[in-house]
Copies of this chain bind each other. A is one copy, B any other.
Amino acid sequence: MPYSIGQVAKKTGLSTYTLRYYDRKGLMPFVKRSPSGRREFTDKNLDFIDLITCLKGTGMQLSEIRKFVELAMQGDATLTTRLNIFKQQQEAVKAQIKQSQKFLDKLDYKVRFYTAACEAGTETAVSGNCDLPDQPIVINEQLRVKRA
């Protein structure tokens, strides 16, 4: 039994608007229609939508995803091309995670800095250098507003 667009929306968390939009954008040429024109999604289709969600979640644009889908529709002739797309995206995600980790390091430093600042009652009493995150954060007792 195929799924209706509403059922797919519930299953995937995407809105029906989004699903139709994706379809219009050429991301779902594999979805068959009932005699009256309604979309009928199979379980295999759902897997593919999961993949689309994955690619989208890693920053791939809909236009690029469309290209991938078109390759996939062409069958085995495009296997290596598709493999390369996945390898490329793999590297992209690794780089993204690295970048996010750098940002997280900065945030970690900020939390330590602001924790000290809150304790001292003022930012001016706190020393520390954001670009040297391992450097200790020190409170200048002379400048404290709040006493411990």
Contacts and interface: CB of A to CB of B under 8 A. Distances in A.
B90 A94 contact: no
Interface string A76-110: 10011011001101100110110111011011101
Q: Per DSSP, are chain A's interface residues mostly helix, strand or loop, or mixed?
A: helix
A73 interface: no
A140 to B, nearest CB: 14
Interface string A54-78: 1001100000000000000001100
A86 B114 contact: yes
B108 A90 contact: yes
Interface stretch (A2-10, A13-21, A22-30, A118-126): A118-126
Contacts of A75: 123
A76 B57 CA distance: 38
B54 A107 contact: yes
